[in-house]
Amino acid sequence: MVRAREFFGIGLATAIITIALLLGWMGDTHAAKKRFVSIGTGGPTGVYFAAGNAICRLVHKEAAEGRAKGRKHGLRCSAPSTNGSTYNISEIAAGELEFGVAQSDWQYHAYNCSNDKVKCFKELRAVFSIHGEPFHLIAGKDSGIRGWGELKGKRVNIGNPGSGHRGTMEVLMAATGTTTADFAKAAELTSDQQSEALCQGDIDAFVYTVGVPNAGVTVATDGCEARILDLNGPAEQELVRSKPFYVFTRIPKGTYRTTVSPVTTFGVVATLVTGAQVPEEDVYEVVRAVMENISEFRQLHPAFAQLNPKKMISDGLSAPLHPGAAKYYREKGWLK
């Protein structure tokens, strides 16, 4: 009889523990699904990392927990440093990230399965664009270069193989019928080397795809009076017209010491993307947190200073909008 009672007691205790663990597991699963989102970014010193953490800051600002006012969305947000665009897209596809920052060209290629360097992901969804990443053509003070047409016979750094600016340089060269044989020298320096090479007189110009402002560009413009040149001719206009991931961008007057007037060029856009599997309410709350606090968002990094919500819902977006994002934009009257 004692053994029966002991057995029953053990069985009851085990059942209680099992139920408790099951309920706890279910609660944790619900919390993970409904209360936590991760945003893949980029290197810890880059603008992608700043963008992801700025978004999380605003999500947390909107949360009502512990305050009388706010949104009772229950979301918790993190923005870890990652390997960047293509990595973020593959992790969203795998369900390891809910959101990610990605260049607009990689968004296009992932959704359209048009480049084997990024995972084909037809369930990729756009949320909004962030800052522009213009393609810079930077010429030395005494180079005599005033535009693309004067690069012939000059020493030009076309970018290291595999870099984003090298890829864009090759696209523009093809569009203008330019080859490396047209240059006196086609250097393949990295972004860390090119400004110093220009200032030392080893090259006459270099190209660079990067957000504004950028410390490396400052080395050339403020350090040795290099100038950023306009790139808005017929070839660039056709690229922007035919490629949905390219947009025209203006580098504002005064951005650098030698930027005495605005510079118009083209380039890609940093975008926030997600997956179709991410709940509508989660995407809605992330979008709402940013758009309702856009003035604060602009102040969190110099690259965000010129952000315009109406452009953020169109520029560089080639994947379909996530329904949660579209819902907010319709409420604001920005989307029909």
Give, for all 336 residues of the chain, the pLDDT tens digit: 444 444 344 444 444 433 444 444 444 444 334 579 999 998 887 789 999 999 999 999 888 665 666 787 889 999 999 988 999 999 999 999 999 999 999 999 999 999 888 899 999 999 999 998 999 999 999 999 999 999 999 999 999 887 778 889 999 999 999 999 999 999 999 988 999 999 999 999 999 988 888 888 999 999 999 999 999 999 999 999 999 899 898 899 999 999 999 999 999 999 999 999 999 999 999 999 999 999 999 999 989 998 999 999 998 899 999 999 999 999 999 998
Q: Is residue 145 part of a domain?
A: yes
Which residue has 């010193």 as its token pair? 45
Query: What pLDDT, on a 0 to 100 scale, did the predictor assign at position 43?
Result: 83
Identify whether residues 123 and 183 lie together within a single domain.
no
Half-sphere exposure of 53 (CA within 13 A, CB side): 14
Identify whether residues 251 and 312 lie together within a single domain.
no
Query: What pLDDT, on a 0 to 100 scale, did the predictor assign at position 167?
Result: 84
Query: What pLDDT, on a 0 to 100 scale, did the predictor assign at position 295?
Result: 97
Q: How does pLDDT run across 209-248, given as a tens digit for each residue?
A: 888 888 889 999 999 999 999 999 999 999 999 998 998 9
Query: Rounded CA gap, 18 and 16, in Å?
Result: 5
Identify whether residues 198 and 167 lie together within a single domain.
yes
Inter-residue contact 22 to 81 (CB < 8 Å) = no
Specify which residues 274 forms β-bridges with.
99, 125
- Domain total for the chain? 2
Query: What pLDDT, on a 0 to 100 scale, did the predictor assign at position 128?
Result: 98
Length reported for the chain: 336
Identify whether residues 273 and 127 lie together within a single domain.
yes
Q: Is residue 16 part of a domain?
A: no
Identify whether residues 273 and 263 lie together within a single domain.
no
Identify whether residues 184 and 127 lie together within a single domain.
no
Q: Is residue 290 part of a domain?
A: yes
Query: What pLDDT, on a 0 to 100 scale, did the predictor assign at position 1?
Result: 45
Which residue has 């579209």 as its token pair? 326
* Residue that terminates a domain, selected from 268, 286, 318: 268
Q: Is residue 15 part of a domain?
A: no
pTM: 0.76
Q: Is residue 2 part of a domain?
A: no
Burial class of 95 by CB neighbour count within 10 A (0 to 12, 13 to 18, 19+):
exposed
Query: What pLDDT, on a 0 to 100 scale, did the predictor assign at position 119?
Result: 93
Joined together, the tokens standing for residue 46 give 């880059």
Identify whether residues 145 and 96 lie together within a single domain.
no
Instruction: For residue 245, give its domain range.
Output: 134-268
Q: Is residue 247 part of a domain?
A: yes
Identify whether residues 199 and 314 lie together within a single domain.
no
Kindly provide the residue ranges of all beta strands, DSSP E only, lying in 124-176, ordered along the sequence: 124-139, 155-157
**Residue 217 sits in a domain of what CATH number?**
3.40.190.10
Q: How does pLDDT run across 110-162, given as a tens digit for each residue?
A: 999 998 888 999 999 999 999 989 999 999 999 999 999 999 999 999 998 87
Identify whether residues 236 and 264 lie together within a single domain.
yes
Identify whether residues 163 and 140 lie together within a single domain.
yes
* Residue that terminates a domain, selected from 253, 268, 283: 268
Q: Is residue 280 part of a domain?
A: yes
Q: Is residue 302 part of a domain?
A: yes
Question: How do beta strands 99-103 and 205-209 pair?
Answer: unpaired
